[in-house]
Chain A
Amino acid sequence: MASVNAQIKRGSAELAVLTLLAEHPLHGYEIAKQIEAQTGGVLRFDMASLYPMLHRLERKSWVKAEWQTLPNGRRRRCYRLTATGRRQIAPLRAEWRAFFHALQSVTGFQNA
């Protein structure tokens, strides 16, 4: 599987995380695993890219983090999407759609 350039990955990360959190709250490890699974391993977040980004989204009030105690007694910091964060998804999607459309018209590649 082709690896994705770090810059593109970073730019798309916010949209991927917000879209995932729009379904239900998740903690960091689950977010990383679900993105990896859903993209067939193309998008893979290590701790160095995931947590600074999650904290940045939290500071922008797009997500809200809460400590939750799991049935086994362990604590996990769960992130859930806020109303502000939910409002960001549509413009971000539009931005990426426009970007891919433009790229498509230049390079001539088509979706598989």
Chain B
Amino acid sequence: MPDWKQIVRKNLRVLGVCSPEFTEELAGHLEDSYEALLCEGVPAEVAFHRTVSQIEGRCRIWLVLRFLQEEFMTGFTRMNGFIRKVALPGLLTTAASGLVGWVLIRANIWPKIILMPNRQFQMFLALWPWWWGMLPLCGALGALLSQRNGGSRLQRIAAATAPGAVIGALLLLEFPVAFIFDGLVNHRWWGSAMWEGLGLLLLQFAVIPAVLLLLGVGVVEKARRMPSRAI
């Protein structure tokens, strides 16, 4: 009996299409085809060539192409799901929280500044009670949008906390980038003062907002668990 697994492996090793499970499955198919031909009275050599032809030449190219096409389509579908369930709700949540902040500033509602005492460089913590107060609503909006598009709990959380994550990432990127472009950051700051400053910015623009956005997710999750009442 020919070694069908070896034949499959040899013919489909290109592009990593052939996993061990898939090899075994195709080998089983070839084995059944071969035995069926033998049962029909086809000579062994002819049966072998007819069986192998299913995985050689044009057939082999088609098999590889079809699997690559399937892999591509699966990846695309997954990406599409990520966009609908996380990226788009996250983007809208970020836009909503930014809009709230912008409206408050336009309405002349500024944060309360608390100067940090006994520091070599002047540092402050800005408290944004009005903006922070609106963030649970934005978080709930993100969670609801993600839920509406079939997002899982983790995806709802990711979509709702996107503003905190985006601002946090931007702040973390800003410092090394600014340091590279001389003059944008005072190099005397480079050291513990810089880390303190970065920590304070992260606290007011990323950590506290993320916690408040999560509160909104919590409300949505609680509402999901409540039994619906018939009117």
Interface residues of A (CB under 8 A from B): 27-29, 32-33, 46-49, 51-52, 55-56, 59, 74-77
List the one stretch of B29-37, B161-169, B173-181, B221-229 in contact with chain A: B29-37
With A52-B70, A55-B70, A59-B74 given, is the CB distance from A29 to B59 under 8 Å?
no
Whether A46 lies near B59 (C-beta < 8 A) is: yes
A46 touches B54 (CB 8 A): yes
CB pair B69–A52 under 8 Å, yes or no, is yes
List, in ascending order, chain B residues with CB within 8 A of A49's CB.
62, 66
Shortest CB-to-CB span from A108 to chain B, Å, is: 35
Task: Pick the contact of B66: A48, A74, A76 (CB < 8 A).
Answer: A48
Main secondary structure of the interface of B (DSSP, over half): helix
- Which residues of B have CB within 8 Å of A74? 28, 31
The contact sample of 26 A-B pairs, CB cut-off 8 A, is: A27-B28, A28-B29, A29-B28, A32-B29, A33-B36, A46-B59, A47-B29, A47-B54, A47-B55, A47-B63, A48-B59, A48-B62, A48-B65, A51-B63, A52-B66, A52-B67, A52-B70, A55-B67, A56-B70, A56-B73, A74-B31, A75-B24, A75-B28, A77-B21, A77-B24, A77-B25
Rounded to whole angstroms, the CA-CA distance of A17 and B110 in the bound complex is 65
Once A46-B54, A52-B69, A56-B70 are accepted as A-B contacts, the answer to whether A76 and B28 lie under 8 Å apart by CB is yes
Q: What mask results when residues 3 to 33 of chain B are scored 1 for a CB within 8 Å of chain A, else 0?
A: 0000000000000000001101110110111
Interface code B137-178, partner A: CB below 8 Å = 1, 0 otherwise?
A: 000000000000000000000000000000000000000000
